Amino acid sequence: MKYKPHIDGLRSVAVLPVLAFHLGVTAIPGGFTGVDIFFVISGYLITGIVAAEVSERRFSILEFYKRRILRILPALSAVFLFVIVAANALMLPVDISEVGQSIVASALFVSNILFWQTSDYFAGPAAGKPLLHTWSLSVEEQFYIFFPLLMVFFGRYFRARFLLPVAALTVLSFLLCIVGTAKAPTFAFYLIPTRAWELGIGACLALAPALASARAPKALLSLLGVALICASLLLIAEGPGFPGALALLPCVGAALLIAFAEGTPVGRVLSSGPMVWIGKISYSLYLWHWPLIVFYKIRFGAELDAVDIAVVGAASIVLAALSTQFVERPFRSPDYRRIGAGQVVASGSAILACFVGLGIALDVKPGVMRTYPSDVLSIAAYSDYRSKPDYMTQFRTGTCLIGQREGSVEAFSREICLSIDESKPNILVVGDSHAAQYWRALQDAFPEANVLQATASGCRPLLNGPGAKRCTDLMGYVFDEFLSSGKIDAVVVAGRWQDEDLSLLPATLERIASKTKKLVVVGPAVEYFGELPTLLAQSRLAGNPFDWDEYLDTSREDMSVKVSKIIPPDLATYIPVYNELCAETECTLVTSDGGPMQFDYGHVTLAGSRYLIDRIEPALRKALF
């Protein structure tokens, strides 16, 4: 395939917005869409080579994997080694264990599956994973495990007429993407069935070479390509609505530039020296920038100011240039090209197997390369709170708190969670996980009462409110049937209140108040930008005071005020728990046992819940009895 310098320039158009997005440059909200451009370029280049070799009956799967190994493995290995060393120097054992898992998954090219199961790409905790960005590399390599074999099949049975079956598979993948983005956005973001169409667009372009030579307004079409990419960078906001149909913007824009930009003013800009140079280091730049950002934030703070952005951005580019020159290029020399394909594949597989072994060792024995203060380890251990007995005692997950894993309201146990005791006052706790966190402490604080629980994750207690079907089904049952029994003496509603809830809350409270004697609304709790055990342990490990300005989410205090203003005092009692934890700019970080108040961004531990309920016990007793 003829070398086209404007494609290298297009790589720079892909990687620079990704770098800016991850650095937090808000002028480029859709910078993550640069990955889609990479997918199109990759599909175009690789398909062109494979199709030519299959058509000429000289394609070798070993030779194909040899080229892939020499292309991607040297720089990837260097990044793995850097991450291992930096993680042991800067991270806590629980985080090192996660790094080990990431290395195993990345070395096996299944990290997209790991992060699909464990991470929301746009959520705070995901931002601390130094190999999160390898999900896209895994998607690519999974595509190239199966796609060359499909091309061989198509070459044999379709007489090298590749375009029709490849286009059909591309359309099918795109339709899956549309459905998946609406039904299961994390699945759609990470996994190959809903991402393959982006590589497929590039593949179709490579299989239609007459398109680029067609008599068409190339300058206009290339400008349209620029416009579509700019639109994707400026208009597509981060969140669960992506990829979906919106991903067509960067993908079609990239395809137009590949096909029509050569020889146009746009093509000359893309073929300019600086653009081509960035494009040639783009693979290393993509690999290195994210670990640098993650470890820089761990060492110096989560919020990057202008100086930090300049330092990390420049370091990423310099390191990428060095990596390209001294790590990537030697393995593209004629000496390595002459090595047998079988030898390269065997050696590459052995190297990846070594990293799998190192990753397993880090996961099983994290933190063995250094010592940690005992208080740091004790606090950090709360990051794994969900696996501890206190968590189940506190939340009753899977029985009285149903979530995505349970999937249906059928998992909710009415016999256990809503059992009426005729000899005691019956108090119902209803809401999401931010309500469930108080159930055990309430029952302990008021043993003379029977405290019931109706909770579902992500399910605020609202009439006709938002949420998954398990949520709306449970709330419908509680509001329409259970409360109508007249056997509930008091109701406690709590949730992670959002702005869109405020218009629904008054009618909800009126419905509840009409069916029970006492009603209490619990306000939003304190939240942090990140998981409190990790943030607190890292600050202690570094010997730094906890940075309130950087980590405390003050919007929850504002929400507490908003909720309080819409609750009629004659209808319900409002409990502003935020005020019980925070005084001015500082909040209670640890409980009397030395553990953190919260075990993640905002859910309190069992000890934290008891601390809160103890502080508000007089107000609760007055409101509930």
CB atoms within 10 A of CB 177: 24
Residue 241, pLDDT > 90, answer: no
Token representation of residue 260: 């029509």
33 DSSP 8-state letter: G
pTM comes to 0.79
pLDDT band at 122 (very low <50, low <70, confident <90, very high): low
Mean pLDDT in residue range 401-412: 84
Sequence-distant (6+) residues with CB within 8 A of 319 are 284, 288, 292
Paired sense of beta strands 582-583 and 586-587, if any: antiparallel
pLDDT band at 78 (very low <50, low <70, confident <90, very high): very high
**Max CA distance (Å), the chain:** 87
For residue 184, what pLDDT is reported? 85
CATH architecture of the domain formed by 388-526+553-582+606-624: 3-Layer(aba) Sandwich (3.40)
pLDDT tens track for 473-495:
999 999 989 998 888 999 999 99
Name the residue with tokens 């809401």. Answer: 431
Cα three-residue angle 444-447-450, rounded to 5 degrees: 105
- In sequence order, what E strands does 469-595 have? 490-494, 518-522, 573-575, 582-583, 586-587
Determine the Cα–Cα distance for residues 514 and 549; give it in Å rounded to an integer.
43
Long-range pairs for 249-253: beta carbons < 8 A, 24 or more residues apart: 249/33, 250/30, 250/33, 250/34, 250/36, 250/37, 250/40, 251/36, 251/37, 251/39, 251/40, 251/198, 251/201, 252/201, 252/225, 252/228, 253/37, 253/224, 253/225, 253/226, 253/227, 253/228, 253/229
For residue 623, what pLDDT is reported? 92
pLDDT tens track for 24-63:
887 777 888 999 999 999 999 999 999 889 888 899 999 9
Residue 152, CA distances (Å) to 106, 158, 200, 201 in order: 27, 10, 16, 19
Determine the Cα–Cα distance for residues 106 and 85; give it in Å rounded to an integer.
17
pLDDT tens track for 208-233:
876 656 677 999 999 999 999 999 99
Residue 13's nearest CA partner among 30, 32, 37 is 37
Residue 189's nearest CA partner among 285, 105, 113, 102 is 113
Token representation of residue 281: 């280091």
Q: What are the structural domain ranges in the chain? A: 5-370, 388-526+553-582+606-624
Mean pLDDT in residue range 444-451: 96
Sequence-distant (6+) residues with CB within 8 A of 450 are 419, 420, 421, 424, 425, 426, 427
Estimate to the nearest angstrom the gap between the alpha carbon of 28 and the chain centroid.
18
Token representation of residue 451: 């405290």
